[in-house]
Chain A
Amino acid sequence: MYLSAEDFQAITLTLQLASVTTVLLLLLATPVAWWLAHTRSVWRAPVASLVALPLVLPPTVLGFYLLVALGPNGPIGQFTQWAGWGTLAFSFWGLVLGSVVYSLPFAVQPLVNAFEAIGPRPMEVAATLRASQWDAFFTVAVPLAKPGFVMAAMLSFAHTVGEFGVVLMIGGNIPDKTRVVSTQIYGHVEAMEYSQAHGLAGVMLVFSFVVLLGLSWFNRRADLRKKAGA
């Protein structure tokens, strides 16, 4: 199997993109998931649907809207220009933004499930033990929801690594800037470089399989621990 310098560049960029996206996603998804798990507001259903949209929308639709929004006349584009960052389209941070939106449901849903599984009782217990809400959140809810956080992180990372449509729409395919593994493979195939496409595709295949295997192994262990606790 032969991987070129550009292939390695694409792999590095992909890992960078997925790492940054995962960190940002966990920070963003945690409050959203907490709110969804606890609110009785009428806005719950609309917000939950909005968060889940990337699951059903074609990535090209998502990418198209993002491209428009990021462009010089889009709301995000106008903001970034006003802030002095230029436009984000066809840049690494544009990709990050797209990935965050695209993978949002994969971070939010496991966390909502985890928070709902904890139920209100541990937080009430913590309050009776003199813990303020923030204190209880970090010392009780987060540790108890650990399996949810692990799942959310793994899914976000893997899903970001696997995205193609959104990247192509808002990132273009600029070497070292926005060319990730999936678009690199696409490029190889377009250029009839099948052996190189094979190499990268193989890497992706193995990676995805390992992630899924790890997830099911982790879930099984969490289940066993829960059963032992019950």
Chain B
Amino acid sequence: MNIHLQLDVARADFDVSVNVQLPAHGITVVYGPSGCGKTTLLRCVAGLEPQARGVVQLGHEVWQDDAQHVRLPTHQRALGYVFQEASLFDHLDVAGNLAYGHQRAERNNRNAMSQAVMQQVAELLGIGHLLKRRSHELSGGERQRVAIARALVTQPRLLLLDEPLAALDHARKQEVLPWLEKLRDDLNIPMLYVTHAVDEVARLADTLVVMHQGRVQANGPVAEVLTQADLPVVVGEDAGALLTGIVLNIDTQWHLAQVGFAGGALWVRDSDLSVGQTVRLRVLARDVSVTLQQATHTSIQNHVPCVVDAITPESHPSQMLLRLRCGDSVLLARVTARGVHELGLQVGMPAWAQVKSVALVK
């Protein structure tokens, strides 16, 4: 099953024009700089932009097809929407906020969800003890969790999240992120997640859509899109690859864990990992260098054999971005142009990627 979005909407600065097929499972992150039209896109999906024209289709369910004069109003689309600010109703307590959507969804849904499920959602997001509180008696993180729960109790077929963490400080963010991961793992609801934060992309995305000036620049599995060397998301300080792997070994003496991925293995800091666990690793381009032979006499622990796949100049003339293929995986390396010249690096050459640091993103 797919989500098909083909939408056009005029804005004051530029037009948003999108035509994508997205998988109807997991988290699809829509990433782009502020004002690139990603929130507008999300609002179009929800039917909150009356000017938008096009198609919104979820599997066989058509929410909008202006060519066929089909256009369900927002309240008839089986979606959940989490806004940037929690936007809880001030005149209701937490339980009232949850019940608001729950009652209405039940009214026009034959597979009515029982009160018990509402309890379950409250438990799932850890807000069971907050039900009698009012919006102003909650912390920012709690408020956002209530907003997510409120969207979930309507039993949406698609969950839309518009920068749900952007209004939170770092600590509050860390408080909400694990709950989002839990939703991804526990519920079978596809999510469209808008953000401009690369760390949220690395941590949450299964599919990545990169937007710029109202257009989709790239769309695909997150690891592939992140290593496309010609995208704005991969240039800049945060450029880097995303690897999914399995913990193979734990070195208890040195507190390291070996993570195997399609194409090699890397030692990472052991933070309560267990053998067999699936983890995500983020390897930033600036932490990867290249040698022609496997280096010895170095403090760097991680050496991965690879083949140079692409050499792309960066905005500063001294820098080059290398795309390195290691088996089925790809790493990015930021090196100096002089280094490339002195090693005589060319596309297709075998080499060793030296990885100085690896971040575990769960």
Contact = CB atoms under 8 A, between A and B. Distances in A.
A171 B99 CA distance: 52
B91 interface: yes
Nearest to A229: B136
Contact of A144 (B47, B90, B100, B108): B90
A130 B136 contact: no
Q: Is the interface of A mostly helix, strand, loop or mixed?
A: helix
Contact of B101 (A122, A130, A144, A230): A130
Interface string B98-123: 00110011011000000000000000
Given A125-B83, A228-B136, A135 B104 contact: yes
Interface stretch (B53-61, B72-80, B213-221, B224-232): B72-80
Contact of A125 (B73, B89, B104, B136): B89
Given A228-B136, A229-B135, A127 B90 contact: no
B80 A128 contact: yes
A131 B80 CA distance: 12
B91 A128 contact: no
B154 A143 contact: no
A125 B81 contact: yes
Given A131-B100, A230-B136, A122 B108 contact: no
Interface string A127-159: 111111001100110011010000000000000
B89 A124 contact: no
Nearest to A132: B75
A64 to B, nearest CB: 44
The bracket for how many chain A residues form the interface is: 20 to 34
Contact of A124 (B48, B100, B151): B48
A122 B89 contact: yes
Nearest to A139: B100
B74 A128 contact: yes
B67 to A, nearest CB: 24
A129 B101 contact: yes
A129 B48 contact: no
Nearest to A128: B81
B211 interface: no
B34 to A, nearest CB: 19
A122 B87 contact: yes
Given A228-B136, A229-B135, A229-B136, A129 B150 contact: yes
Contacts of B108: 130
Most buried by A among B107, B136, B150: B136
B110 to A, nearest CB: 14
Contacts of B243: none
B46 interface: yes
Nearest to B156: A128
A228 B135 CA distance: 10
Contacts of B74: 124, 127-128
A129 B108 CA distance: 12
A139 B107 CA distance: 16
A125 B83 CA distance: 8
A143 B107 CA distance: 22
Given A124-B48, A228-B136, A229-B135, A131 B87 contact: no
A150 to B, nearest CB: 14
Most buried by A among B48, B79, B104, B151: B104
B105 A130 contact: yes
B81 to A, nearest CB: 4
Contacts of B46: 128
Contact of A130 (B85, B90, B104, B135): B104
B204 to A, nearest CB: 21
Interface of A: 121-122, 124-132, 135-136, 139-140, 143-144, 146, 228-230
Given A129-B105, A130-B76, A229-B136, 7 more contacts: A122-B87, A124-B74, A127-B47, A128-B80, A130-B105, A139-B100, A146-B91
Query: Ordered nearest first, which 4 A-B pairs have the shortest CB separation?
Result: A129-B101, A130-B104, A128-B81, A127-B74
